[in-house]
Amino acid sequence: MSFSSEWLALREPVDHAARSKKIARKLAEQLAGKNPARITDIGSGTGSTIRAMRPFLGDDVQWHLTDNDDALMDLARNEAGGSETAFTIADLSHSLDPLFSKPADVITTSAFLDLVSLDWLEQLVSQVASRKLPFYAALTYDGRAMCKPELKRDGEVISAFNRHQQTDKGFGPALGPAAADTAIRLFEQAGYQVTSARSDWEGTANHKEFQKMLLEGWAMAAIETEPVQEASFKTWFLERLRLIENGEATLMVGHKDFLAVPA
């Protein structure tokens, strides 16, 4: 599964504001003394993780970005200035080997784990643990969402969207909202110490285009899940669109960050 560069650009400032500073600082502490620190990032997109972590890690980092989307990786190449960066285009649904093709001090990912299956995640944790590598995951969707002002069908749309999040995104039946807690449990079972924190999106009147694209995606996913509700879900979206245009709408979308470190 891939995302448009337009969507990634709209969400980046919201992502960066949401990312847990506590967990980011713990990662920086974990990498202290590594000069340079070597980081392999999963599902890198346009390289947003580099930009998000620069205030915490500086530029003395060797990044290894991995993604299966050539166009997004081209954008990442253009925007990765200031850091030493390698790029690997790979479909990780078939093999995790590309992740470990370069030396790393930590494996990172952002807004990715909710797209993968339990089987895939178990393989990832097993391979990371076998190498005794720390693992940092940011912005994993956890199923909590709230729009204001409230509308009658908010709960129905969010429920249908959450069920859609558990469909196959290219890695088998996705964990969706259960992904972060599942990953934490698997790392703890592998002998890791895990620190976690919320990293919720906060969309305001300053994020109108972000809100529009996000809620359009919710409505489309909800309709795919419950086609008989198409008319009512489209009406819901149009009502939300009016509130956004008028500057009356805000939203919260729940995410979780965690850092897993070998005990």
Q: What are the structural domains, with CATH classification, of the chain?
A: 5-262 (3.40.50.150)
Q: Quick check: 226 pLDDT over 90?
A: yes
Q: Which token pair is 156?
A: 């129905």
Average pLDDT across the chain, whole number: 95
The predicted model scores a pTM of 0.95
Q: At residue 123, what is the residue type?
A: Q
Mean pLDDT of 159-168: 97
Per-residue buried b or exposed e for 160-185, using 16+ beta carbons within 10 Å of the residue's own CB: bbbbbbbeebebeebbbbbbbbbbbe
Residues in the chain: 263
pLDDT (0 to 100) of residue 77 = 87
Give the phi and the psi of residue 248 in degrees, each rounded to 5.
-100, -10
Digit-coded pLDDT (tens) for 45-80: 999 999 999 999 988 899 999 999 999 988 888 876
Q: How much of the chain exceeds pLDDT 90, in percent? A: 89
> How does pLDDT run across 164-176, given as a tens digit for each residue?
999 999 999 999 9
Average pLDDT over residues 176-192: 98
* CB of 82 closer than 8 Å to CB of 58: no
